[in-house]
Amino acid sequence: MDSPMEIMMILLVLSDFALLGLSRLRTCISIVSFQGMLLGLLALVSQWGSLTLRLVMIAAASFIIKGFVFPILLRRGIREAGTQQEMEPFVGYIMSIIAGLVMLGVSLWLGNKLPLFALGSGTYLIIPAALTTLFTGLFLIIARKNALNQCLGYIIMENGIYTFGIFSVVEIPLLVELGILLDVFVAVFVMGIAIYHINREFDHLDSDRLNVLKG
Amino acid sequence: MQISSFLNILLGLLFAPLFLGIINKTKASFAGRTGQPLLQSYYDIIKQLQKGAVYSKTTSWIFRAGPVVGLSAILVALVIVPLGGIAAPLAFSGDLLLLAYILGTMRFFTVIAALDTGSSFEGMGASREVLFSALAEPAFLIGLAAIARETGVLSLSQMLPAAHFFSPEVVLVVIALLVVFLCENARIPFDDPNTHLELTMIHEVMVLDHSGPDFALILYSSALKLWVLGLVIVGMVFPSSADYFWPVPVFMALCGLILLAVIVGVIESTMARLRLLRIPQLLVAAGSLSAFAFILVLR
């Protein structure tokens, strides 16, 4: 129970809950950055006995890109947009936290249903935590109006996939792994530009107003 | 039943108001003040006891019964909560549910005594108190259920000392219970015990019309409530088996309570009170921590 991986998984789920319940964008970005660093460490801890250069590189890339580069980009987005807070999300914060609990329950059920591969002892939480993170990301994309929060949701979703990937397929080719990271990086970059343009066009970041543009 | 288990009651009755003093001293030293004397709560209670009570003509016996029922309810709670490793005098299997409902009874009588005055101001406070306690109760019960499941016993006296603080579930439950502790005792960030003139206050507004001995009973029972709920948290953080000679766990528990009082003082000094709208959010978050802990022990 007390294995470091279990504690990391619990921290991962807790950070998901925090993201669902908090409204301040700056705090949310810090939590996403924490999640990125956590996952970077997780890649190392999970294969502690057999570290390869490839693994260390992936972990380091994830640690630096998700822990430092994304937050810097996103913080600049906030500064330029001048928004501090999500004002009126589609789903309220209390309901979001409750939805988080439901998602955790569903993930546990799914985790039991999906005996994809033999995991060692003390790792029972990994698949549920990965799925919860994935669902949290999707939920944030749907439930929040602010374009920046939706971008965060995208990163969180990728975190979930990454967690799932570390444990399910240890031998992902390096190129594929780096390709995914690069994709996310470019996506966040593009979203940063999109956020900038939404902000210039509308003076705020509510993406649901984009509907007005329909011809 | 051991003689030492009566220490629970004796120490609780004697020292409960002292912890309010420790909280206030901590806050004062944070603010760079000398602060009120450590024994100020005792002086307040004695002063109130010497005064006469004033009753409004619109109130009925319910208003007079409120403080008495409140005090007797919390005295029952005192008898079922263990002090450190020492079993409570009336410990039985399932007493954690009784504890939750005793606290509920106490709150119910405070609330209907407040409603009995017919003041809209007190009715507002009563409504808030009921709303927040409705959200705090699941956090409390699910948290205790997680501990019960982990330790496999249903009595507070056995399960609190048996919980190992260094497992993640217990840490989650302790954090959730700390939030419940602050909410139930009307401390910052939920309610400011010092305000009497604000429209956002919750607990204090309900007892505004009580005076003299009645108010003394309310002050004393809220001090006891702080003590009882504090013991629930301290019992989990300082697990001490009953094998030791009895002064050791008692001393540990008292140190734990003092530490808790200092922590509460630090929280109150460093945090502002939350906006009223944010309070349910924090309570739901505490509830979800409890639920998460419960899910973790369910496997």
* d(C-alpha B21, C-alpha B26), whole Å: 9
A142 shares contact with chain B (CB less than 8 Å): no
Angstroms from A7 CA to nearest CA on chain B: 7
How many other CB atoms are there within 10 angstroms of residue B274's CB atom? 16
Number of folded domains that form chain A: 1
The candidate with the shortest Cα–Cα distance to A100, out of A122, A121, A61, A131, is A131
Span between the terminal Cα atoms of chain A, in Å: 57
Give the ranges where A144-204 is alpha helix by DSSP (H): 147-168, 174-202
The candidate with the shortest Cα–Cα distance to A132, out of A3, A35, A34, A59, is A35
Taking CA atoms, what residue in B is nearest to A92? B281
**Mean of pLDDT over chain B:** 88
Residue range A122-147, pLDDT digits in tens: 567 888 899 999 999 999 989 988 87
DSSP per-residue codes, B28-55: HHHHT---S-TTHHHHHHHHHHTSPP--
Instruction: Measure CB to CB from residue B295 to each of A2, A6, A104 and give the nearest one.
Output: A104
Burial of B201 (0-12, 13-18, 19+ CB in 10 A): buried
Taking CA atoms, what residue in A is nearest to B293? A10
Give the alpha-carbon dihedral of B275, B280, B282, B285, to 10 degrees.
-160
**Mean of pLDDT over chain A:** 81
Hey, are the CB atoms on A97 and B284 less than 8 Å from each other? yes
Give the alpha-carbon dihedral of B242, B245, B248, B253, to 10 degrees.
30
- Residue numbers of the domain that contains A172: 4-213
Which residue type occupies B29? S
Band of pLDDT at residue A119, cut at 50, 70 and 90: low
Is the confidence at residue B88, as pLDDT, over 50?
A: yes
* d(C-alpha B240, C-alpha B164), whole Å: 10
For residues A1 and A122, is the Cβ–Cβ distance under 8 A?
A: yes
Q: Which tokens is A119 given? A: 């995991």
Residue range A146-169, pLDDT digits in tens: 878 888 888 898 888 888 877 766
> What is the arithmetic mean of pLDDT over B102-130?
91
What is the residue whose two structure tokens read 């307040």? B44
For residues B52 and B110, is the Cβ–Cβ distance under 8 A?
A: no
Bond into B189 cis (ω within 30): yes
For residues B207 and B71, is the Cβ–Cβ distance under 8 A?
A: no
Q: Which residues of chain B make contact with A97, given a CB cutoff of 8 A?
A: 281, 284-285, 288
Q: Which tokens is A51 given? A: 């570290």
| Per-residue pLDDT at A1 | 42
How many other CB atoms are there within 10 angstroms of residue A133's CB atom? 29
Beta partners for residue A146, in sequence order? A206
For residues A155 and A184, is the Cβ–Cβ distance under 8 A?
A: yes
* d(C-alpha B174, C-alpha B293), whole Å: 10
Q: Which residues of chain A make contact with B281, given a CB cutoff of 8 A?
A: 21, 93-94, 97
Q: What is the ipTM of this complex?
A: 0.83
Q: Which tokens is A123 given? A: 């790792």
Region of poorest pLDDT, from A45-59, A132-146, B285-299: A45-59
Sign of the dihedral defined by the CA atoms of residues B68, B70, B71, B73, in that order: positive
B45/B247: higher pLDDT: B45
Which residue type occupies A192? G
Hey, are the CB atoms on B295 and A10 less than 8 Å from each other? no
Please tell me whether residue B12 adopts helix, strand or coil conformation: helix
How many other CB atoms are there within 10 angstroms of residue A164's CB atom? 18
* d(C-alpha B168, C-alpha B152), whole Å: 17
Percent of chain B with pLDDT over 90: 56
Band of pLDDT at residue B223, cut at 50, 70 and 90: very high
